[in-house]
Each structure stands twice: as structure tokens, then as C-alpha cells.
Amino acid sequence: MMKKCLKEVVKKPKVFIFVSIISVFFLLNISGISAESMVTFSEIEHYFEFEGGKYYLKSDLTVNSNIEVNQCIVLNGYNIVVKGNLSLEDGSIDLNSGTLKVEGILNVSSRDEVCIVDINGGSLIVEGNFELYGDVILKMTNKDDYVLIEGDFLFRISRVKQQLDAGVFELKGNLKGSSHFVLWDYWIIEASGTHKFLLSGDEKQTISVFPIKFNILEFKNTSEEGIHIGVFFGSNELKSNGCFTSELNIERTKLVLNEDLTIRNSVNFKKSLIDLNGNMLKVEGGLKVEGYHYDNSIVDINGGSLIVEGNFKLYENSILKMTNEEDYVLIEGDFLLETIFDNDQLSGGIFELQGDFFQKSTLSSFKGSETHKVILSGNDVQYVKFSNPEIVNFNILELTKELETGYVFLSDPFWNQLKEGDLNGDKKINSADLVLLRRYILEIIDDIPAGLETADLNGDGKIDSLDYFTLKRFVLGIIKEFPVNQSN
């Protein structure tokens, strides 16, 4: 008969005699049971104390076989090692500052009751797969919670939501899952708080769960094939650590950068807010941003830098926001704008484009103002087209090639101010020098034509953001002389 969590088992414990007890572990080594065999909880019940419907472990325990458990057990600060598979059906486990290590597969399933795997300040280590089926809840609410799965994490859950608010879940295998009960705006898994999900495999890892939202998603897979995420996902924070990934599809997310982020492929944002928060986002591919109906997408440069090595495309309800003087965008490919919003949030910073500019909208989806500047700096001829030039305009447009030969305007262009760059090499100090210095600091270029010594404007022996802000103050007329000259 299956024993439930709140049903006391009336049974005398079996007594096992050991030839030698030297280890701090109690060793369950039942004669005649191989690693492929299965034992039940009743055969280890005497290592637990029953109280209030739960079984509390009294000492460290090693099980040298597969085992099936249907009870509610609490590790109570002790450790269990299972040298085989562990099947937990209609039962629950509370690690309670202890460690559960399963050297095979950990399978948790429910038929009649909700099963809970509560890490509760402890550690769960599974060398095989970790499988959840039915009404099963993985609970991680303690900052010390740690889960390491060396195999795959597989689940098919029903009507329950996981409780992932703290701790670290580290996965070296694949993540595959689904749910019997999913609403359109309902995440199967939605992490929050300080919870981190870490992908650290040594070979290709695949994520195929939809919909899923991570809190902090960190990549530490350094294999050549890297991480392949074939579905849209959400994440409040993303750390790539330079790892290779497939094209990323991120949706319904407020992604605020707390450090520089490099994505080594293309990325698509849907119904999301991307706030660079003074940091750099570098995309080594194309960037596509798309809103939908009432779910807008916003790319807020917010004092940071956006570098896209491919094309940058804005669709539907999406906005590029540049309102800060330090905002910088560099697009090495083309810029395609097909939004259905009026955009009057282009009032500061520099938008540098090396490819073509195409605006396709009947609305004023690109309307520069105040100090916002567009620099067309491509090496080849650049094409510019506005669908509605009467209401769309550049504020300050700076050219780095001859207007007549370096550009083709496919519609009547409109700008508030046109600046042609230092084409004759007259050594003038202007915004072109600002762009050059910023590109050097961001490591887009590795040299400065006039010599590196000309960029150390404060004389500290380094070329960094302090020199950039010093040059900017000079260009704006705030200072009349560079600190390096004042010290001489």
C-alpha cells in the first residue's frame, strides 16, 4: 500500500548488522540487491524519525541501489547519497540545509498529491537526468539553495507554478519541458528575486521550453557549439561571458544591463524593454526589435552604447530612445525602420550608421531634436530614404564623405543642420574627433590616425572615458584648454 505524507507507518524497523562501521555514513548494503534493483523506503525507514507526518533523517545515509520513496522526508541538515536512481512519487523532500546526491536519475512525479522538492538552504546534485512530471513544485527560496544537474532537466508539469526566487540552478545538459495547463500570458516557469539559472555544459546545450522566463540567465558553456535556444524566452538579466549562442529570441522582458553584454549572434526582442543603463550592448549579428498591439518594445540607450555588427530593424510598436548626451549607437549594417509610432525621443547622443537608412512609415517614427546627431560614416555609398520626409527628419546630420558622391538620397532629405566632416584634414577639433575617440575606447578601432598621444587629454597615461568627457567639454565650449596642456 502506498504510504502518504501525513499517514504514520506502524511498523518495527528492520535491524542490519555491519561488520565494520568506520565511515561517518550509514551504509545500506542489502545482500542480493544489485545497482539495477529497487528498494523501498520501508527498508531504510529506521534511519528516520517520524513526527508530524514527516520523516526526519537522523544521520548521513548512503543507499547502494535504486530506491523508491512515497513519503515526506526531511534531511534535517544531514546528507543522502543514492548510488543509483531515486524515484519520488506522491511524496516530498525538504533538504533543510542538507545535501541530496543522486548518482543516477532523479524522477519526481505525482498522481494524487502535489509533490514538493524544497532545496531550503541545501544542495541537490544529480549526475543523471532530473525529471518532473505532474503536479510537482521545485522550491528555491533561500539564497544558499543550490541545484546541479549534470544530465538533462526534463519536465511535464500540470497546474502548478514553480517557486524560483533565490539560489542557483546549474545545468550541464539540455532543458526540455512543457505543461498540460498553459494560458497565453502564463509562463510555465517564471523565476524572480535573485534566482540565477546557469548553463555550464561542456558540449552543445539545447533549450526547448516555451514559455519560460528566467530571472538571471548566465552562460558559461565554452564549447564551440555553445548554447542553442530554439524558442522565445524571457530574462530579467542576461550574462553571456563571451559564450557562443544560437540566435536569441527574447520576449516580454524588462532587460536592464548591469554590466557590458556581448551576444555572439543575432538577437530578436519582442514586446520587451531593453535598458542599457550606462553599459554597452554589442550584437555580433543583426538586431530586430518588435512590438505587438499594446505590448510596446523600447530600446533605451540611457547613457550607454549599442553596437550592432549586422542590420538593425525596428518593427510595429517599437521605439529607439536616445535622450542622454552620452548615448551612442553604431550600426555597421543597415537601419530599417517600420514602426507605427511617432518617435520624439531622439533628443540626445550620436547615431552612427555605416550602412543604408530606410524609413517606411506614414508617421514621424524618426524625428531628431535638440542635440541628437546622425553620422553617416560608411566606406561605400550610402542610401537614405524617408517614406514621409515632411514629418520625419534628422536633427544634426554629419557626413564623412562628399555629399554629391558618397550618398544617394532616394527622397527629399530633411535636416535641421548639416555638417560635412573634416574632409580636408585641417586639424579642426570637432564632433568627428569625439566619435573617433569613442570608437577607440569601445575597441571598435585599435589606433588613432594622429597618434595615441594626442588622445591622452588629461595626461594620466591612459586613454579612457575621462579623456572622452574632457574632449566633449572642449567641443561644447565648456573648457578652452585641455588639462594635459595646463600641466606643462
How far the first Cα of the chain sits from its last, in Å, is 91
pTM of the model: 0.76
Residue-level pLDDT at 421: 43
- pLDDT for the residue numbered 32: 32
Q: Domain 431-486 class? A: mainly alpha
Q: Which helix (H) or strand (E) element contains residue 406? A: helix 403-406
Residues forming a β-bridge with 99: 79, 123
Given this model, what pLDDT does residue 373 score? 93
Q: For residue 103, which of 87, 73, 75, 81 has the smallest C-alpha distance? A: 81
Return d(Cα 86, Cα 284) in angstroms, integer. 43
**Among 161-165, 293-297, 330-334, the range of highest mean pLDDT:** 330-334
Q: What is the pLDDT of residue 8?
A: 31
Contact between 235 and 214 under an 8 Å Cβ cutoff? The reply is: yes
Q: Which three cell numbers stand for residue 97?
A: 540545509
Nearest alpha-carbon partner for 141 in 156, 159, 162 = 162
Question: What sign for the dihedral angle of Cα 451, 454, 455, 456?
Answer: positive
Residue range 135-193, pLDDT digits in tens: 899 999 999 999 999 999 998 887 678 899 999 999 999 999 876 655 444 577 889 99
CB 311 within 8 A of CB 291: no
Range from 349-353, 388-392, 463-467 carrying the lowest mean pLDDT: 388-392
Instruction: Let me know: does 214 contact 231? Beta carbons within 8 Å.
Output: no
- Using DSSP, state whether 289 is helix, strand or coil: strand
**Alpha-carbon Rg for the chain in angstroms:** 30
What does the domain layout of the chain look like in residue ranges? Answer: 1-246, 275-421, 431-486
CB 13 within 8 A of CB 46: yes
- 53 in Cβ contact with 72 (< 8 Å): yes
13-70 pLDDT, tens digit per residue, is 333 333 333 333 333 333 333 445 788 899 999 999 999 999 999 999 999 999 999 9
Nearest to 108 by CA among 162, 64, 145, 60: 162
> Tens digits of per-residue pLDDT, 364-400?
788 889 999 999 999 999 999 988 777 788 999 988 8
| pLDDT for 425 beyond 70 | no
